[in-house]
Structure 1
Amino acid sequence: MKIAPSGEQFVIASGAHQATLVEVGGGIREYLHDGRHVLDGYRVDEMCSGGRGTPLIPWPNRLADGAYTFRGARYQLPLTEPDRHNAIHGLLRWTNWTRRAGDESHAVLGTVLHPQPGYPFPLDVAIEYAVADAGGPGQRPGLTVTTTATNLGEVACPFASGQHPYLAAAGQTVDEASVRLGARRWISTDERGLPVGSEPVEGSPLDFRTLRKIGETRIDHAFTELDRDADGLAWVELEDPDGRRTRLWADRNYTHIQLFTGDTLSPDRRRRGLAVEPMTSPANAFASGDALIVLEPGESLTTAWGIQPG
């Protein structure tokens, strides 16, 4: 029997919106609005590349040497970015997720992260994806992604999360697109992509507080001290070369947003979309403790982000 590399496909739709979610990794393979690709996703006959649309749990971004200490015990994770000697983007990218609930316009995908070497903490993770033409009570128009992680164990566990969508640039490169992100600081990194400090965006090539063209700027950095609206939401706006704007929002749990222009991807995908990654902590949080979340036994954390196509 022939199966898709990303496993079972779960399609949700409402009005002009249609999203395809996947069994492998529990992410978003495709999101269309009025037939236009909102995300730079991947085909049904392809493996997910570059983390496209994937949840990043129980940590986003990189962990130096895959090693960390938590409450006096030292842990070692597999090096999933061996060329840089890092562990990257958590443990659920290739896990099978199941559809736990849903209807035509929403689906809840879930999985259990069982204890394993380097992370001996059981977690239940459920992600609700919903699309809507107009927001209702507790819902915004467009795509809304709500993630709930619950500590199923008898001891506290370290936790962080994120997700890795790429906003599409109308079939062109991001060079001709413009971006706006209200953030006052960016995280500087070393050659391994690990944080070495933070810098003010003012006066730097990474000041996107007003909408401006990306051009040849290479971006693979997290931004923090995010501007927020009256509802506590941080916003990123991408205007494609055709003048259409896509807006991504993230709630207060997401203290950092990573932007990535895809310069290290394969030539056919390089700079074809802008990764906009809401994250509850920066890279290396398991080791540094920076914005690290601790879930006590039985405790849950629910976070939300979403996309509003223009």
Structure 2
Amino acid sequence: MAAISELLSIGSGALEVALVPQIGGSVSSLRWRGIDLMRRLSEDDRRSGNVLGVAMFPMTPYANRIAGNAFDFRARRWQVLPNNPPEKFNVHGSGWQHAWDVTGAGAANATLSLDIAAGAEPYSYRATQAFAVSDEGLSVTMTLTNTGPVAMPFGFGLHPWFDRDPDVTVQFDARRFYLEEPDGISGDAVTLPPELDFAEGRPLPSGWRNNDYGGWGGEATLRLPARGAGLRMKADPIFKHLMFYADPAKPYFCVEPQTNASGAFNRGRWDDADEGVIVLAQGESAAGTVWFTPFSL
């Protein structure tokens, strides 16, 4: 990545979105009426190209970790590489660690594209993110195409980061909760217990959370009373899962819409609709849109 990545700004009315295509095809900031609704990329992180400091990055060609850096698909074992030291296992695929090309841009819209050819890892794919801003909000449409010679399992998602204000609340509906195993790996799914249910909206937990919520209803609402604003996320049905990360020792938290269940590639239940893995033949594509709508409190 470039040492200093240029900002690409789009906006409409009171909503301003800044992109950093060279830093993982990421969003640098989402501001409404001058209020930051996602964690803003700092100038130091922009200069150093630190993708872990952005407001939101794409997850592709799958979301979350692959235990053992390998999975079995159609009588073959596929290897991936660890990509986020000191973590042992590959996380979120490769898209977030490459510079994306700007293939379209206007005052209120932009399209970013990425082409990856299989090398040390098995995936060849083309990914696009189409950003569109209106007075109502931001939409991000992700499209993923298998450009490789054989069918492969795919997934994708968005990884927004939010400031951990003391009074923030989170609300969303889901049906299942995936237990966390060592090294951030997603384990068994259990019936959602009331202590972990966010259907009515609740403050961030005081303890560690790094869990996939399955059977997500496709909407999540964040309220930021100290900022006088909130943000509503709404996703197409292809996004069956919502990953929730909250470490009380960190000044941020994450609420991540994704198509595949965390850990699904290791479980290998490719035809299980709940797992959300998308098998794409050569040349096939999948797409989905997530909307981010600000509102006043």
Using structure 1 for the length normalisation, give the TM-score. Answer: 0.85
Partner of 2:272: none
Q: How does 1:271-290 map to 2 (within 5 A)?
A: 272-289=251-268, 290=275
Task: Summarize the Cα distance change of 1:51–1:71 in structure 2 as closer, same or farther, 3 Å threshold.
Answer: farther
Task: Summarize the Cα distance change of 1:62–1:215 in structure 2 as closer, same or farther, 3 Å threshold.
Answer: closer
Deviation track 1:29-66 (CA, whole Å, cap 9, x = no partner) reads: 11110111010131243122267411111111111011
User: Are 1:189 and 1:195, in contact at CA under 8 Å, matched by a contact in 2?
Assistant: yes
- Following TM superposition, by how much is the alpha carbon of 1:285 offset from its aligned partner in structure 2, in angstroms? 2.2
Task: Summarize the Cα distance change of 1:215–1:279 in structure 2 as closer, same or farther, 3 Å threshold.
Answer: closer
Partner of 1:246: 231
Q: Distance in 2 between the 1:8 and 1:20 partners?
A: 10
Q: How does 1:135-284 map to 2 (within 5 A)?
A: 141-168=136-163, 173-204=164-195, 206-227=196-217, 234-242=218-226, 243-263=228-248, 270=250, 272-284=251-263
Q: Distance in 2 between the 1:124 and 1:259 partners?
A: 27
Task: Summarize the Cα distance change of 1:215–1:155 in structure 2 as closer, same or farther, 3 Å threshold.
Answer: closer
Matched, 1:105 2:108: yes
- Of 121, 127, 130, 1:128 maps to 130
Partner of 1:38: 37
Matched, 1:14 2:5: no
The amino acid that maps onto 1:128 is A
What RMSD, in angstroms, separates the aligned Cα atoms of the two structures?
1.9
Deviation track 1:176-224 (CA, whole Å, cap 9, x = no partner) reads: 21111111211111122212211222333x1111012225143211111
Q: Distance in 1 between the 2:278 and 2:78 partners?
A: 17
Q: Distance in 2 between the 1:118 and 1:107 partners?
A: 29
User: Are 1:4 and 1:45, in contact at CA under 8 Å, matched by a contact in 2?
Assistant: no
SS at the partner of 1:54? Answer: strand
Q: Distance in 2 between the 1:85 and 1:226 partners?
A: 28
Greater share of residues in helix: 2
SS at the partner of 2:183? Answer: coil
- Of 252, 270, 282, 1:297 maps to 282
Q: Distance in 2 between the 1:48 and 1:155 partners?
A: 31
Task: Summarize the Cα distance change of 1:215–1:158 in structure 2 as closer, same or farther, 3 Å threshold.
Answer: closer
User: Are 2:41 and 2:54, in contact at CA under 8 Å, matched by a contact in 1?
Assistant: no
Task: Summarize the Cα distance change of 1:49–1:239 in structure 2 as closer, same or farther, 3 Å threshold.
Answer: same
- Following TM superposition, by how much is the alpha carbon of 1:111 offset from its aligned partner in structure 2, in angstroms? 1.1
Partner of 2:117: 114
Unaligned runs of 5+ in 2: 269-274
Unaligned runs of 5+ in 1: 134-140, 228-233
SS at the partner of 1:208? Answer: coil
User: Are 2:30 and 2:55, in contact at CA under 8 Å, matched by a contact in 1?
Assistant: no
Q: Distance in 1 between the 2:294 and 2:197 partners?
A: 23
User: Are 1:174 and 1:214, in contact at CA under 8 Å, matched by a contact in 2?
Assistant: no
Q: Distance in 2 between the 1:155 and 1:104 partners?
A: 39
